Structure 1
Amino acid sequence: MVKEALFGKTLSELQELVVELGFPKFTAKQIADWLYKKEVSSIEEMTNLSKKAREILAEKYVFGLVNSTKVQESVDGTKKYLFPTGNGKFIETAMIPDKDRKTVCVSSQVGCKMGCLFCMTGKQGFQGQLTAGEIVNQIRNIPEWEEVSNIVYMGMGEPFDNLDEVLKSTEIMTADWGFAMSPRRITVSSIGIVPGLVRFLNESEAHLAISMHTPFHEERQKLMPVEIAYPLDDVLEEIRNWDFGRQRRVSFEYIVFHGLNDTPAHVKEMARLLDGIKCRINLIRFHPIPDTPLKGTDEATLEQFKAGLEAKGITTTIRASRGQDIYAACGLLSTKALVKE
């Protein structure tokens, strides 16, 4: 029998667990402290629990931390970690240092079912959901974890297609009984699944990033099949009706492809669509992947595109390319590991 992991359980889940095992209610908070606030990795190390309690816990549960099986380090300091999953597959996690920040890019699924034309993860197909524990493990079980300043859900998978576990993971990251990180240091990126978007906005205080990649409906359908079920117009309507306040941010991710979505017409349509939405555009250089006709735009066009958006009053940044020498495009490292398997 495979034992269930304690790591990844919320305080309310731990409270149910201790009642079921006949422990005092305060034991749940003690276990949470060991899981999320202390440098331990086994039930035996939970020394403020009685020996008998630890034995009972160990009969049914494991602590639940999982080590990475491979790490690649770029010349720019970016690291990419490969983690095994419970279903025998692999996910990848990136740690990106930048001055006084260390950002960790986590995966939320094994593979992805969304089939975006530009995404290597999508070419793997969908291979399973990650648990909250497997998501948080990507932060807790890297050497830099105590120095992590920001978390982005921009790795493998679509977060809103695994929203229950994603929300549990952000709860663990931000709760006082968990890692106590500010939700303003977490950004969750989605291609725009509207029911998940509405729920996320209501149940989380983390920042939101939406993958746009083109403002035109038919063009976006070809790049992102989700446009058929959840058109960008519907996504923007929900965002426009939401009060983000002064602290919470919404941004739009835009991979710039040569001759496809880098024209003045795209700038004009983006400005029209985003009118009235306080946001930021993140322009992203395309990292080539196998078996796709897409190519990244040249630097001069990228700068012109940025200037065009800024002239329309839209705050725009060009995201720095990192880890070019270590399978930078999301999904390449895990795909290589799957092929070896």
Structure 2
Amino acid sequence: MEKEALFGKTLEELQQVCVELGLPKFTANQLTDWLYKKPVSSIDEMTNLSKKARELLSEKYTFGLIDPTRVQESRDGTKKYLFPTIHGKYIETAMIPDKDRKTVCVSSQVGCKMGCLFCMTGKQGFQGQLTAGEIVNQIRSIPEWEEVSNIVYMGMGEPFDNLDEVLKSTQILTSEWGFAMSPRRITVSSIGIVPGLVRFLNESDCHLAISLHTPFHDERQKLMPVEIAYPLEEVLREIRNWDFGRQRRVSFEYIVFHGLNDTPAHVKEMARVLDGIKCRINLIRFHPIPDTPLKGTDEATLQEFKDALERKGITTTIRASRGQDIYAACGLLSTKTLMKN
């Protein structure tokens, strides 16, 4: 039988492991220290545990780190890591340096079932859920892990479709016994699965990002089939009902497509539907992917669109394009790898 990984377990779960093995309960605190704070990768390196304790742990468990199988580095310093999964597939993780910040973009699923028209990951179809350990491993197993300042769940997959493991991973990242990161340095992005949204708002203090892409129902339905089950109107209603306060932020991701969602009518409608929501809009350049009719808008229109939104009183930024020379867009590198195998 394949041994179970310790990495990815919470303090409570590790306490249960210790009880089952007849180890002192405080051993769980020692384990979290080795798993999440120190640069080791094996149970044998946990030197403040007795030899007997290490033997008992090693009989049933493995440390659980997974190294990337491939890394590509862009001219701008962005790195794309390719990780194998327990499903025999691949996921992608991007490390994006920017002055004194290092942001890691993690995946939450293998493939995706949401079928968004503009997403390469969706074209792979759904292939499996990642465990909390596999999610956090994307941070812990890159060389820059001790320098990571921000984490965004904007890689492959829909986080709210794997919410149990996503919430568990953020618990590991933010708990004092874990990575002890501030939840204000973590953003979870979703296309707007309402039951998951409600639960996330109640159970997590991390920032929220919603994929918007158009304020019009019929248009959004063509781009994002989720609009049929969970219309934007319902998503915004839940967000309005939540008091984000001063510390927690909500933003909207908006990929700008040429001639589709970059018109004055879209500016006007966005101002209407977002009225009363304190938020930021992140405009994203679209870089074409295979088998889609969509095209990115030109730079002049993009800037004009941003200025028009700001005149409406909506804080708007244009996200810098990074790593285009290394297939940094979600799903491109893993799709190429799967096609070779």
- TM-score tier (shorter): over 0.9
Residues 94 and 328, structure 2, Cα contact 8 Å, conserved in 1: no
Identity across the alignment (%): 87
Aligned to 2:9: 9
Contact persistence 1:120–1:332 (CA under 8 A): yes
Look up the SS of the partner of 2:325 in the other structure.
coil
Q: Contact between 2:160 and 2:196, CA under 8 Å: does it hold in 1?
A: yes
Q: Describe the superposition over 1:28-84 as per-residue Cα deviations: whole angstroms up to 9, x where unpaired.
A: 111111100111100011111111111111111100000000000000000000000
Deviations 1:126-185 (A, max 9, x none): 000000000000001101111100000000000000000000100000000000000000
Q: Which residue of 1 aligns with 2:44?
A: 44
Asked whether the 8 Å contact 1:287–1:328 carries over to 2, the reply is no
Give 3-state SS (helix, strand or coil) of 1:157's partner. Answer: coil
Find the residue that maps to 1:29 and give its secondary structure.
helix
Give the C-alpha shift of residue 21 in structure 1.
1.1
Distance (whole Å) between structure 1 residues aligned to residue 170 and residue 197 of structure 2: 15
Q: Which amino acid aligns with 2:282?
A: N
Match in the other structure for 1:186: 186
Per-residue deviation, residues 219-249 of structure 1 (Å, max 9, x unmatched):
0000000000000000000000100010100
Deviation at 1:20? 1.2
1:91-129 alpha-carbon deviations (Å, 9 max, x no partner): 000000001100000000000000000000000000000
> Contact 1:288–1:329 (CA<8 Å) still a contact in 2?
no
Matches of 1:232 and 1:200, distance apart in 2: 17
User: Aligned residue for 1:147?
Assistant: 147
- TM-score when normalising by structure 2: 0.99
- When the two chains are superposed, the root-mean-square deviation of aligned CA atoms in Å is 0.5
C-alpha displacement of 1:287: 1.4
Residue by residue, what CA displacement relative to the aligned partner does 1:272-331 show, whole Å, maximum 9, x if unpaired? 000000000000000110000000000011011001100000000000000010012210
Does the CA-based 8 Å contact 2:284-2:318 persist in structure 1? yes
* Structure 1 contact 280–315 (Cα < 8 Å) conserved: yes
TM-score by length of 1: 0.99
What pairs up with 1:1-341 in 2 under 5 angstroms? Answer: 1-341=1-341
Asked if the contact 1:189/1:210 (under 8 Å) is kept, the reply is: yes
> How far apart, in 2, do the equivalents of 1:280 and 1:220 lie?
19
User: Which amino acid in 2 is paired with 1:19?
Assistant: V
CA distance in 1, matches of 2:158, 2:220: 17
Partner of 2:128, secondary structure, is strand
Amino acid at match of 2:53: A
Distance between the aligned counterparts of 1:136 and 1:101, measured in 2? 19
CA–CA separation in structure 2 for the residues paired with 1:162 and 1:6 = 20
The count of corresponding residues between Structure 1 and Structure 2 is 341
SS at match of 1:221: helix
Partner SS, residue 322 of structure 1: coil
SS at match of 2:221: helix
Counterpart amino acid of residue 182 in structure 1 = S
Q: Secondary structure at the match of 1:247?
A: coil
Structure 1 residue ranges, 4+ long, deviating more than 4 angstroms after superposition = none
Q: Which amino acid aligns with 1:2?
A: E
- Per-residue deviation, residues 186-217 of structure 1 (Å, max 9, x unmatched): 00000000000000001100000000000000
Q: Secondary structure at the match of 1:7?
A: coil
Q: Distance in 2 between matches of 1:113 and 1:104?
A: 23
For structure 2, the 5+ residue unaligned runs are: none
Deviations 1:251-278 (A, max 9, x none): 0000000000000000000000000000
| Equivalent position amino acid for 1:165 in 2 | E
Counterparts of 2:17 and 2:123, CA distance in 1: 39
Preserved CA contact (<8 Å) 2:78 2:97: yes
What SS does the corresponding residue of 1:162 show, helix, strand or coil?
helix
Q: Secondary structure at the match of 1:325?
A: helix
